[in-house]
Amino acid sequence: MRLRYAIPIFLLAFVVQSAVLRCIAIYGISPNILLCLVIVFAFLYDEPFGVVFGIIFGILWDIEFGLYVGVSAVSQTAAALAVMQIKRYLNHELLLPALAAGLAGAVLNNAVYWGLYKLTGIPHTLLYILGMQPVLLAYNLLFVMLFHLILRRGVIRHRKDREYKGGFKEAKGFIMK
């Protein structure tokens, strides 16, 4: 994906996350579509867009809505780095591996985010955080699935593409390294 497409996608997600998704929260929980985009970008693309945009938009999110600057950036970057390591062993074009990587990234993000805030002294207990996880993970996996289905079209070559040469050339990005 080119940078000229990635920046508007993340800016739109930032606006939608801050303006629209807070209105449709279930039990006070709304999905983190910035995290979902970071995970999908880290899973689909070889460029480090997921890590870079995780840092940039995590800091912007913390400046706008967080108590401390950098907590979201660190947690989203940790999730992106973990997904980048996981994707080496998974097929990028299938939905189930993307959901598995999305689940791992979301759980790691939530654990790092809560851990960093726990170090700063927030009063939320582990049981309170674990009680929110089923709804939060279901929401996030829904958006990971949606973004993966939309964005994978630009990554995967099909036989009908005019650049298709046949053989293993199309599978070059999917072979384990």
29 bridge partner residues: 26
Q: At what angle do helices 49-65 and 71-86 cross, to 10 degrees?
A: 160
Is 161 domain-assigned?
A: no
- Can you list the alpha helix ranges (DSSP code H) found in the chain? 3-19, 33-44, 49-65, 71-86, 95-120, 126-151
Is 101 domain-assigned?
A: yes
Is 69 domain-assigned?
A: yes
Number of domains forming the structure of the chain: 1
At 158 the pLDDT is 52
Whichever domain contains 123, its CATH number is 1.10.1760
pLDDT top residue among 138 and 176? 138
Is 164 domain-assigned?
A: no
Task: pLDDT band for 50, please (50, 70, 90 cuts).
Answer: confident
- Using alpha carbons only, what angle is made at residue 45 by residues 43 and 51, rounded to the nearest 5 degrees? 70
Is 30 domain-assigned?
A: yes
Q: Tokens for 60?
A: 């912007």
Task: pLDDT band for 173, please (50, 70, 90 cuts).
Answer: very low
Is 108 domain-assigned?
A: yes
Q: Using one digit for the tens of pLDDT, what is the confidence trace for 24-40? A: 787 788 889 999 999 99
Q: Is 27 helix (H, G, I), strand (E, B) or coil?
A: coil
At 155 the pLDDT is 59
Is 15 domain-assigned?
A: yes
Q: Residue 38 phi/psi, 5° resolution? A: -60, -45
Task: pLDDT band for 107, please (50, 70, 90 cuts).
Answer: very high
DSSP state of 26: B
Q: Using one digit for the tens of pLDDT, what is the confidence trace for 122-162? A: 877 888 888 889 989 999 999 999 999 988 876 555 555 55
Q: Using one digit for the tens of pLDDT, what is the confidence trace for 155-172? A: 555 555 555 455 444 444
Is 8 domain-assigned?
A: yes
Show the domain range for 56: 3-153+169-174
Q: For residue 144, give every residue at least 6 positions away whose Cβ sits within 8 Å of its Cβ, in sequence order, or none.
A: 36, 39, 40, 98, 99, 102, 106
